[in-house]
Chains A and B, each alone.
Chain A
Amino acid sequence: MIRGVTHRMLEELSWKVGGQQGEGIDSTGETFATALNRRGYYVYGYRHFSSRIKGGHTNYKVRVSTKRRLASADYLDILIAFDQESIDFNIKELRPGGVVIADEKFHPALPEGAGAVLYTVPFTQLAETAGSSIMKNMVALGASVYVLDLPVDIFAGVIHDTFARKGQKVVDQNMEAIRQGYNYMKEHGDNRAKLQLKPAAGSGQHLFMMGNDAIGLGALTAGCRVMAAYPITPASDIMEYLIKKMPKVGGVVVQTEDEIAAINMIIGAAYGGARAMTATSGPGLSLMMEAIGLAGMTETPVVIVDTQRGGPSTGLPTKHEQSDLYAVLFGNHGEIPKIVLAPSTAEECFYETVRAFNLAEQYQCPVIVITDLALSLAKQTVEPLRLEAVQIDRGKLVREVDPSHLNGQLFKRYAFTEDGISPRVIPGVKGGIHHVTGVEHNEVGRPDESAANRARMMHKRLKKLEGVELEGSLSFNGPEDYETLIVGFGSSRGPIEEAVERLNSEGRRVAHAHIKVLAPFPTKTLSTYTEKAHNVVVVENNATGQLSKIMKFFGISVPTRSVTKFDGNPFLPGELYQELKGLV
């Protein structure tokens, strides 16, 4: 269907590449996204996940914007298709005037009535001209930037960085393939659909990373030197990242036999004086519960990352969900102090991971960093990370003991103190000998089940976090005179921010509170915002409204309404806007 020339100036663009798994769809998406990120745009890249490794449709969706966007768009402007399935599967997302660029090889056709422009390009053939058919993805990238009126050399840096180790010839061939795609469009394409992106506002100094990358880098920067984990989607990247980096800093990653081993191993390492972590997802978290209690009881500082995926059981192993809140807060038996941090952007993943290691040692308790699949795996533009902002605080760690103070007694590792936090000495230190046990114990760590000691020790441990609200427990955005308050956590920040922006631009008065610390729960701070609202809506990716129930549990007294989604996909901004519109 030819609709004449469309020249559109876009604030943002939604682009997608689709094909069979194993066809290099991810790397195509990533090359496109990285190039635009380097040009100063804000980019958000979301991979369509499935647990099949090869075969089956997959796609990579990239949003390019002149301002920060932390969600995929509801729509598409450009679809690159390597097979008919990619067209059929994704065409509904295309907005009117959208463009489909497809490989001639499969004789692409648009479904009846599709309001898009189809360009058929001989991807494979042009790639062969450039050197090899495997570069058909590059041809597609060249065709994409032609439509966007961008020069092909925006790819030069990325292509160089990706292929330089394979030699200049490979770099040149890939650039040639991109040029082939561009030139083909120039010669054969009409100007039916020319989209134009507004120039980028960013400096081009931005990073492009997923939450898991940021967690890995955050851990390394925080001084984590022992990591033990068992592979699981969507957490494995953290382990894989640290495996690459640990040799540079003298640390170690152990791929353990299971998650029970992983958590007990890091407890042993932390007891030994290392900063230690594990990373898992729901099924692994369930296996760790007993030992998380041990960390609480023995006051051993460990960091556990829970990258939530669809549960229960194996659930939706490669899909998004936020349904582990009850598990992280209440999963272990008995009562321990515990900190739960919930970053919502990749940047926060970095800084909150650093903070997790500090808090673990300051409060001598387990700290859980909870993400969700979209946060862990979607790639996003990140402001430059600052090493200067990272400070390592090891709390009450002592490395030297004056034995004359002991009077022949053991070191009081669990000494009763004002704040409940006792000096912590590590094995190897002369004069530091004490006992550590998961059995109720006295000040030197020896088992003591007497009622009086039990009461004092329970009180000592729980006191550490009693009445504590950590700094930056939530973030607030919105007009002073808001009527409706939207509350969320994790990656839903992106869709919520956009939905709120749209509602406010239509004259509604909506604000957004995003919770970053789930334990100790910031009841005081949150209630100052909920009390002022006429209407509180909690947005979360689970079926039972866990966050809204937790808010009540922790003393948020105003009634709330829930918007939930648990089909394995994060909220789309437009979809959430529609839902909220009816509620505000």
Chain B
Amino acid sequence: MATVKDFRNNVRPNWCPGCGDFSVQAAIQRALANLGLEPEQVAVVSGIGCSGRISGYINTYGFHGVHGRALPAAQGLKLANRDLTVIAAGGDGDGFGIGLGHFIHAVRRNLDITYIVMDNQIYGLTKGQTSPTSAHGFKAKTTPNGNIEHAVGPVQVALAAGIGFVAQGFSSEINQLTRLVEEAIRYKGFALVNVFSPCVTFNKVNTYDWFKQHIVNLEEDPAYDPTDRVRAMQKVLETGGLCIGLIYKEERPSYEELIPGFKPEPIAWQNLELDPAVFEECVREFA
């Protein structure tokens, strides 16, 4: 059985020392090992950004696509091979800026994949521009006088779009994050884990300390019920989105389970030759 070590490769991430993304990488590797998966059974599909590099830093199959489109690629991969554990990953710009449309539709579609966002409230790779999750008033290169737009709330959007599994984690809480990732992978359907993953180089506001001061850990509230969508939304709004833990979970069939005629055997391994009887039947319609 594979151990955490088997999910490591010899590539040194080109992230800045202290970047929150290291913890996310480690949490994913631990979660995969804890789940008893083998490296070849997993594919990490990522977008573009500092965070997007993550697919190259985990010893599984890895696909690093274009900016903002990790989710469509991950969904296509899952359709081709439903036996694979597919993890999509990227930054807040990737997922909630350029890729926001895909996010909402991936939620609606509900394929059995896990989406991990490294939300640092800034564009890291392009060196410090305002992101769609940057707060109102936030100062960065593209908003020198303060952000006059309002932040998108990823969890609010997810809940509003009808998501079946949503959790938030924090890079400093790696054990909790590992558990959340594990649970998200185990969940049969589209699961979002939004991670507060500080950018130590460009975001001087939303630092580790800042998060520690502002975050509410739902696991410390025994009364919190993650199966109540209304309560979940209320909690997220109350905390300004700054809560961690499992926020909402609801069991329901995934997209693959609902596709008419879809087979248990992955498409990737099926014989592609068309049954002559089916061909005949198709042709006859045009006679």
Chain A residues in the interface with B (C-beta under 8 A): 38, 205-209, 213, 217, 220-223, 225-226, 228, 245-252, 254, 256-258, 260-262, 264-276, 290-291, 294, 298, 382, 384-385, 387, 390, 392, 399, 410, 426-439, 445-447
Contacts and interface: CB of A to CB of B under 8 A. Distances in A.
Nearest to A427: B61
- Looking at B64, B78, B104, the one whose CB has the most chain A CB atoms below 10 A away is B64
Contacts of B267: 225-226, 250-252, 269, 272-274
Nearest to B40: A430
B261 A247 contact: yes
B259 to A, nearest CB: 5
Contacts of A264: 65-66, 69, 72-73, 76
Interface of B: 9, 11, 38-41, 43, 45, 48, 55-56, 59-66, 69, 71-81, 83-84, 101-102, 104-105, 109, 259-263, 265-270, 272-276, 278-279, 282-283, 286-287
A248 B260 CA distance: 9
Contacts of A206: 287
A431 B40 CA distance: 8
12 contacts: A208-B286, A208-B287, A225-B80, A226-B79, A254-B109, A262-B72, A265-B72, A268-B65, A269-B76, A392-B272, A392-B273, A433-B59
A269 B272 CA distance: 15
Contacts of B69: 260-261, 264, 291
Contacts of A223: 272-274
Contacts of B76: 226, 228, 264-272, 274, 276
B287 A38 contact: yes
Contact of B11 (A213, A252, A430, A446): A446
Given A221-B279, A430-B40, A437-B64, A256 B81 contact: no
B80 A248 contact: no
Contacts of B41: 428
Contact of A249 (B9, B48, B101, B278): B278
Q: Please classify the interface of chain A as helix (H, G, I), strand (E, B), loop, or mixed, using the class held by over half of its residues.
A: mixed
B83 A257 contact: no
A265 B274 CA distance: 23
Nearest to A290: B66
Contacts of B105: 256-257, 261
B268 A273 contact: yes
B165 to A, nearest CB: 20
Contacts of B59: 433
A21 to B, nearest CB: 25
Given A225-B270, A446-B56, A428 B83 contact: yes
Contacts of B48: 438
Contacts of A207: 283, 286-287
Task: Across the A-B interface, give the 8 residue pairs with the lowest CB-CB distance, nearest first.
Answer: A223-B272, A268-B76, A272-B80, A247-B261, A273-B268, A268-B73, A269-B76, A274-B80
B77 A268 contact: yes
Nearest to B268: A273
Contacts of A392: 272-273
Nearest to B279: A387
A428 B268 contact: yes
A223 B265 CA distance: 15
Contacts of B102: 257, 260-261
Contacts of B75: 254, 265, 268
B72 A256 contact: yes
A577 to B, nearest CB: 31
B273 A273 contact: no
A435 B79 contact: no
A426 B268 contact: yes
B283 A217 contact: yes
A276 B11 contact: no
Given A252-B267, A268-B80, 20 more contacts: A207-B287, A221-B279, A223-B273, A225-B267, A226-B76, A252-B262, A257-B102, A257-B104, A265-B76, A266-B76, A268-B45, A268-B75, A271-B73, A271-B77, A272-B76, A273-B81, A274-B80, A426-B81, A428-B83, A439-B64
A438 B261 contact: no
A433 B8 CA distance: 12
Contacts of A434: 61
A445 B270 CA distance: 26
A225 B272 contact: yes
A391 B60 CA distance: 33
B159 to A, nearest CB: 19
A217 B278 CA distance: 11
A430 B61 CA distance: 10
Nearest to B283: A385
Contacts of A275: 272
A290 B283 CA distance: 36
Contacts of B39: 433
- Looking at B62, B73, B282, the one whose CB has the most chain A CB atoms below 10 A away is B73
B156 to A, nearest CB: 19
A273 B269 contact: yes
A416 B135 CA distance: 48
Given A268-B72, A437-B64, A387 B276 contact: yes
Contact of B79 (A262, A269, A390, A445): A269
A387 B274 contact: yes
A226 B80 contact: yes
Contact of A438 (B45, B65, B84): B65
B18 to A, nearest CB: 22
B90 to A, nearest CB: 13
B158 to A, nearest CB: 16
Contacts of B262: 247, 250, 252
Contacts of B9: 410
Given A247-B260, A251-B267, A431-B40, A272 B56 contact: no
Contact of B62 (A246, A269, A390, A435): A435
Contacts of A384: 283
B257 to A, nearest CB: 12
A427 to B, nearest CB: 4
A375 B282 CA distance: 20
A435 B84 contact: no
Contacts of A439: 64
B64 A257 contact: no
B73 A213 contact: no
A252 to B, nearest CB: 5
- Looking at B11, B79, B283, the one whose CB has the most chain A CB atoms below 10 A away is B79
Contacts of B61: 427-428, 432-434
A257 to B, nearest CB: 4
B62 A436 contact: yes
Contacts of A270: 76, 80
Contacts of B259: 247, 252
